[in-house]
Structure 1
Amino acid sequence: MAVVDALLRRVRRLDPGCFALVMATGIVSVDASQHGMPWLALALFAFNLIAYAWLLVLTALRLARFRHSMVADFVDPSRGAGFLTLAAATSVLGSQCLLVVSCPRLALGLAIAGAVLWLALIYLFFAATITARFKPGFTRSINGGWLVAVVSTQALAALVALIAGHAPTPRGGWLFVALCLYLLGAALYLLIITLVVYRMVFFPMRAREFTPPYWIDMGALAVTTLAGSLVVINTPAASPLLPLLPFVKGFTLFFWATASWWIPLLVILELWRHIWRHVPVRYETDDWDIVFPIGMYTVGTFELAQALHLDFLRTIPAVGVYVSLLAWLLVALIGLRRLYRSQFRHAPHV
């Protein structure tokens, strides 16, 4: 009974953004696959399947047993966007099914599930936020986590573009959907990032308030780069969408350049947080929101180099793959250390 009680306590406090673990692991797996590490990519894929299934079970259990606290998180503007990590993780896992292993049917099933989850969660989140009777205020509501709305949109766009590239039949419809999702994600980014930067620049921000989700400022751009690059790569020469490709190429390069600009600033702010302001380094579920953008920037740059035939850009992912693997390993080790300590602290003494 003690084990069950402990599990239920964890379920009740389950972080809405817990599926960031699946997003981060999935993109690092793709990264490893692109750089000649198939066994590592497969191991991460297997881990991701287990993590995804386990988190689904916990989420379903929370919905069944603690619906009130789950709804309270969903209507909280500072936390509600985290639920969109479920939709994003489903699409990233689907992309793994095509880029790491050859499971097109599973990828198609995950694409359908990801689309349903994306439609339901993105509209419910914005509707709940707009219609809420009590709002905690601008600085307590907006943060980088809102950009998961962009990530989930572009992750789905990337998966649909990959399915189009693997489809044996004419793929114009798939590519059209992927392009529309890509453009929608771009529009959402421009809208949301304006609010996020306004909050960061014109309102006081304490070091503890600069949380890992602010790394999604860059990560949302990186996944937009990936989605645009995959649309370009998978558009056949006879496609009616071909005249739009110069626009997509320019827009994708624009987003990649902006993502590159964000990286030094985010590193500086991390140093300010931990070294200058002495915020201790401890594991949080949100830490995977740092790993995902790093891995996604590497994968997005790799695909951008192919889409624009810019071979000199391949130097970045050739180095970035090791940075993303190291980031994943560090967060995993810190998380395991915290899990071990919490279990040891609460273990019964004989």
Structure 2
Amino acid sequence: MVYFIKQTAVHLFPGYFALVMATGALSTGTFLLGMMFISKILLFINVIAYLSLWFFTLVRLFFFFPNILADLTSHTLGPGFFTLVAGTCVFGSQLIIVSNNYSVSIYLWALAIFLWVIIMYTFFAAVTVRKNKPTMSEGINGAWLIAAVATQSISILGTLISSKVDAGQGVILFFSLCMYFLGCMLYLNIITLIFYRFTFLRLKYSALTPPYWINMGAVAITTLAGSTLILHSKSLSILAEITPFLKGFTLFFWVTGTWWIPLLFILMIWRHLYHRYPLSYDPQFWGMAFPLAMYSTSTYQLSQALETPFLVIIPKIMVYIAMAAWISVFIGLMRHLYANFSKS
């Protein structure tokens, strides 16, 4: 058992909290669509997943700190640490929406902000000042957009918490609004580089990893953040004043996310069917399950924010695709854990 814990901790994929993100987003989406039983099961699974991942992360932090530092300052692995922030906030939002638990979520929000500051400035400072930098084709990938996802997740949880805070509600909402716009800025900057790599640099099918689905997932959570702010706009005067702008800007990001979905499916077919790239479990596949679940959830909330009930048909269909993706990856995870535990 000790060997299993150490081996899991030392080789822990930095982006593994995408498991919590995917499970939380799917649980929230199924709850909003009335699938209460499925939502509660996913909440139970996510509690175990969140605590387990933090256990292995802390073991790695205390016993294998050089490994963490090397990963955090890496162009390719560093962005994965933003899943700690996003996973914490998505889990907090899940607790509020599915179980009406605000007390724990407030502490999770504070933890997420602390992690955001540490990871955001450590990573971007490190990749900026390092002497030997990779080429764009080697260094940039879809995981970089998790920086935007993490920022938007803080905005969402902050907005949800604000409704239950007696003092400082305006400050929390204003902070959440600022984080929303900061997340938009990060997405627009990073997606420009990714789109350039897609269209002008050679892209090998082996390099088309699942985190590229974050191209869509980042705008899906941006849509959710904007929709959540719109639904709480009456609580802050400045928010009410810019609501028309927020509606247009949020719809812009939703349309962008919708545009990405067919292209990403085509590229996945090109990778796995045309080139026959093997499908085997990889923790990066949670980076595909999360966007599909988040798109379902965000589209439902967008329909509420824009008062367009006809849009609900989309999440009613997409949620089953998201569930199929989540179940497939989860089965792969169980097999992977069983195989590793048997070896130990």
What TM-score bracket applies, with the shorter chain setting the length?
Answer: over 0.9
2:70 pairs with one of 69, 72, 87: 72
Q: Describe the superposition over 1:53-76 as per-residue Cα deviations: whole angstroms up to 9, x where unpaired.
A: 111111111111111122111111
Where 1:240 maps in the other structure, the secondary structure is helix
Task: Identify the residue that residue 121 of structure 2 maps to in structure 1.
Answer: 123
Give the counterpart letter for 2:230 in structure 1: V
After TM superposition, the structure 1 stretch with the greater mean CA deviation from structure 2, 5-14 or 280-289, is 5-14
2:219 pairs with one of 221, 224, 245: 221
Q: Describe the superposition over 1:215-238 as per-residue Cα deviations: whole angstroms up to 9, x where unpaired.
A: 000000000000000000011177
Where 1:241 maps in the other structure, the secondary structure is helix
Does the 8 Å CA contact 2:27/2:43 hold for their aligned counterparts? Answer: yes
In the TM superposition, residue 169 of structure 1 has moved relative to its aligned partner by: 5.5
Task: Identify the residue that residue 30 of structure 1 maps to in structure 2.
Answer: 28
In the TM superposition, residue 246 of structure 1 has moved relative to its aligned partner by: 0.6
Give the TM-score, by structure 1 length. Answer: 0.95
Does the 8 Å CA contact 2:4/2:341 hold for their aligned counterparts? Answer: no
Give the counterpart letter for 1:93 in structure 2: F
Task: Identify the residue that residue 173 of structure 1 maps to in structure 2.
Answer: 171
Where structure 2 has 5 or more consecutive residues not aligned to the other structure, the ranges are none
1:146 pairs with one of 144, 147, 150: 144
What are the residue-to-residue correspondences of 1:84-233 with 2, within 5 Å? 84-168=82-166, 171-233=169-231
In the TM superposition, residue 168 of structure 1 has moved relative to its aligned partner by: 4.8
Give the counterpart letter for 2:119 in structure 1: L
Alpha-carbon distance in structure 2 between the residues aligned to 1:123 and 1:339: 33
In the TM superposition, residue 32 of structure 1 has moved relative to its aligned partner by: 1.3
Alpha-carbon distance in structure 2 between the residues aligned to 1:275 and 1:328: 20
What are the residue-to-residue correspondences of 1:224-303 with 2, within 5 Å? 224-236=222-234, 239-303=237-301
Where 2:99 maps in the other structure, the secondary structure is coil
Alpha-carbon distance in structure 2 between the residues aligned to 1:314 and 1:283: 32
After TM superposition, the structure 1 stretch with the greater mean CA deviation from structure 2, 317-326 or 75-84, is 317-326
Summarize the Cα distance change of 1:170–1:131 in structure 2 as closer, same or farther, 3 Å threshold: closer
Q: Describe the superposition over 1:184-232 as per-residue Cα deviations: whole angstroms up to 9, x where unpaired.
A: 1001101000111111211111111000110000000000000000000
Where 1:280 maps in the other structure, the secondary structure is coil
In the TM superposition, residue 108 of structure 1 has moved relative to its aligned partner by: 0.9
Where 2:279 maps in the other structure, the secondary structure is coil
Give the counterpart letter for 2:204 in structure 1: R
Task: Identify the residue that residue 324 of structure 2 maps to in structure 1.
Answer: 326
Where structure 1 has 5 or more consecutive residues not aligned to the other structure, the ranges are none
Does the 8 Å CA contact 1:175/1:235 hold for their aligned counterparts? Answer: no
Alpha-carbon distance in structure 1 between the residues aligned to 2:163 and 2:328: 35
Summarize the Cα distance change of 1:342–1:97 in structure 2 as closer, same or farther, 3 Å threshold: closer
Where 1:236 maps in the other structure, the secondary structure is helix
After TM superposition, the structure 1 stretch with the greater mean CA deviation from structure 2, 224-233 or 123-132, is 123-132
Q: Describe the superposition over 1:103-156 as per-residue Cα deviations: whole angstroms up to 9, x where unpaired.
A: 111111111111111111111110111111221222111000000000000011
Give the counterpart letter for 1:223 in structure 2: I
Alpha-carbon distance in structure 2 between the residues aligned to 1:310 and 1:291: 26
Alpha-carbon distance in structure 2 between the residues aligned to 1:240 and 1:153: 21
Alpha-carbon distance in structure 2 between the residues aligned to 1:343 and 1:22: 21
Give the counterpart letter for 2:200 in structure 1: F
Task: Identify the residue that residue 80 of structure 2 maps to in structure 1.
Answer: 82
Length, aligned pairs only: 344
1:16 pairs with one of 10, 14, 27: 14
Q: How much identity, in percent, do the aligned residues show?
A: 42
Summarize the Cα distance change of 1:64–1:318 in structure 2 as closer, same or farther, 3 Å threshold: same
In the TM superposition, residue 342 of structure 1 has moved relative to its aligned partner by: 4.3
After TM superposition, the structure 1 stretch with the greater mean CA deviation from structure 2, 166-175 or 90-99, is 166-175
Give the counterpart letter for 2:336 in structure 1: R
Give the TM-score, by structure 2 length. Answer: 0.96
Summarize the Cα distance change of 1:335–1:242 in structure 2 as closer, same or farther, 3 Å threshold: same
Summarize the Cα distance change of 1:43–1:118 in structure 2 as closer, same or farther, 3 Å threshold: same
Where 1:26 maps in the other structure, the secondary structure is helix
Does the 8 Å CA contact 1:229/1:252 hold for their aligned counterparts? Answer: yes
